[in-house]
Amino acid sequence: MQAVTVIGIDPGSRRTGWGVVREESGRLTLLECGVVRAAPGETSFSVRLAHIYHELLSILSSHVPDEAAVEQVFTAKNALAALKLGQARGVAVAACAAHGLSISDYAPALVKQGLVGTGRAEKEQVAFMVKRLLNVRGTAMPLDASDALAVALCHLNMRRFARLTGVER
């Protein structure tokens, strides 16, 4: 099996989590993860989106992943919040597309179901499983970053399933 490097992205307009995972011969390795945060005091939404875009371009240039996985927008009770989240997601997708990556998207419930066993898992449960699967011990990890890593791990699982069953996503 050929090695593959995947970036997972958990989009947000104030905090966008990201994580890069490499799988080689079934072995998972965390390369790096983090959170793109809006500049302190920045109130202009368009400037925040531009910041996310440029930071993601820098991360993509640094890690050169083979594929990208981005979390879908969940249905929010607040329409304005859902719209802003969708725009942040669009910026993340655009950054990945600008790097020529194939992009897969996953519903939050599917990501949680695949890692924890229930689509309603809490962020802390997801973080616990991410650390366990990537053999990360004693390291503080922002929940936005662990969510992004969960998306990357979900993608790797779906790739493996597609390869084993012959069904392409």
Residues 123-156: tens digit of each pLDDT = 999 999 999 999 999 878 999 999 999 999 999 9
Average pLDDT over residues 71-97: 89
Average pLDDT over residues 38-42: 77
pLDDT band at 169 (very low <50, low <70, confident <90, very high): low
Q: What percentage of the chain has pLDDT greater than the value 70? A: 97
Domains of the chain: 4-165 (3.30.420.10)
**Cα gap 30→40, rounded to integer Å:** 28
**Cα gap 168→131, rounded to integer Å:** 28
Q: What is the pLDDT of residue 41?
A: 77
Average pLDDT over residues 78-86: 88
Q: Which residues, including other chains, have CB under 8 Å from residue 34's CB and lie 6 or more apart?
A: 17, 18, 19, 59, 142, 145
**Cα gap 148→15, rounded to integer Å:** 11
CA atoms within 13 A on the CB side of 131: 14
More confident residue, 106 or 38: 106
Under DSSP, the state recorded for 74 is: P
0.85 exceeded by the pTM? yes
Residue 115 has pLDDT above 60, yes or no: yes
User: Which residues are tagged catalytic?
Assistant: 10, 71, 144
